[in-house]
Amino acid sequence: MENTLNRRVFLSATGGLAALGIPALAQQAQTFRVGFAPLAGMQSTEKMFWEACDECAKLGFHYIETDNTRLQIVEAYAKRPEAFKEQMDKRGLTMMGFAQSSAMSDPAQREQVIAQNLRIGGFLKAVGGKYITHLFSPRPNPAVPRDKLLESMSSGEFLDFARTANELGKRLRGETGVRIGYHPEGGDVRARIFDRIMEATDPRYFDFWPDVGHLTAGGANPIEVLKKHRSRMIGVHFKDYDPNIERQRNGRTVKGGFVPLGKGAVNFPPLVAFLKETKFTGQVMGELDGQPEATPLMRDYLVNTLKLKI
């Protein structure tokens, strides 16, 4: 069921990447939109969201995305989408999409998941948005430790996921024009479930939204993943990851974390070249989990180093 990139386009996109320099990036036409996904963290509030929007507008961004799972923007403005759009218009911004975590592999929650995402799709249609970024949530299993749920998924769970994802994707497109794409997080990548999810789902209705930072953190090669699933990509998050940085989590020191673009292990110029060469027309979103003070650095890297228009 999986579609792969045509061999001719693949060779054209990858043949000269090793020798590609920044001037060459600037000369190629940009066929995709570039924006930013401001994320205020787990304790996000609506006030913090609008402050982040003000910062994005000041820095010259026009397209944004945020995580509705945490912020509940759709729920807060469900009966007054025009008020939300008015606030966005004042800032010269468009909400292109929402990230949403859903228990799509649990048949007991199937109707609830479909209804929730259709509400988000209807809201996006009303405010000019285009997509939902799906964040995978595994089915609970009391017999399996939480940190083993992903790698212990059965074939039946992938089929259950696909049934819901395909119906939802079909209805979203038909009723709202909004598309939905799967966003593998680092745990999904480490458990190697993202290929199985793409194989199980119908490419006519369910798309792909990779994050190069999460792919790197999970041990995958971003350019190879983008090549493999290019035909189903509707967007990509540009996020950087440093495997050597030390940080505190749950009272202990761990290695590896997300950093501003250009400060980690992700090699962005070949990714930009690939998207340009294959005439990608979706959305590229710069993203940095936390560290809102680094937003200007992200903008400068996108514009000054990668030569992208925002």
Residue 211 has pLDDT above 90, yes or no: yes
Structure tokens at 47: 């006030």
Mean pLDDT for the chain overall: 89
Any idea what DSSP says for residue 211? B
Residue 50 has pLDDT above 90, yes or no: yes
Distance, in Å, from the CA atom of 211 to the CA atom of 286, rounded to the nearest integer, reads: 10
- Among the ranges given (1-10, 69-78, 177-186, 226-235), the one the predictor scored with the smallest mean pLDDT: 1-10
- Map out the domains of the chain as residue ranges: 7-237+267-305
Distance, in Å, from the CA atom of 152 to the CA atom of 227, rounded to the nearest integer, reads: 27
CA nearest to 194, candidates 180, 183, 181: 183
What is the model's pLDDT at position 217?
Answer: 95
0.95 exceeded by pTM? no
What is the model's pLDDT at position 86?
Answer: 98
Residue 231 has pLDDT above 80, yes or no: yes
How confident is the model over 26-49, as pLDDT tens digits?
Answer: 578 999 999 999 875 556 789 989
What is the model's pLDDT at position 24?
Answer: 61
What is the model's pLDDT at position 148?
Answer: 84
As a whole number, mean pLDDT of residues 218-239 equals 97
Please report, in angstroms and rounded to a whole number, the separation of the first and last CA atoms in the chain. Answer: 34
- Among the ranges given (5-14, 38-47, 205-214), the one the predictor scored with the smallest mean pLDDT: 5-14
Fold of 7-237+267-305: TIM Barrel (3.20.20)
What is the model's pLDDT at position 232?
Answer: 97
Distance, in Å, from the CA atom of 179 to the CA atom of 229, rounded to the nearest integer, reads: 16
The larger pLDDT score, comparing residue 101 to residue 141, is at: 101
What is the model's pLDDT at position 288?
Answer: 83
User: Quick one: pLDDT band at residue 4, thresholds 50, 70, 90?
Assistant: very low
Residue 81 has pLDDT above 60, yes or no: yes
Partnered with residue 33 across adjacent β-strands are 283
Any idea what DSSP says for residue 233? B
How confident is the model over 144-188, as pLDDT tens digits?
Answer: 887 788 888 889 999 999 999 999 999 999 999 999 999 999 999
What is the model's pLDDT at position 218?
Answer: 95
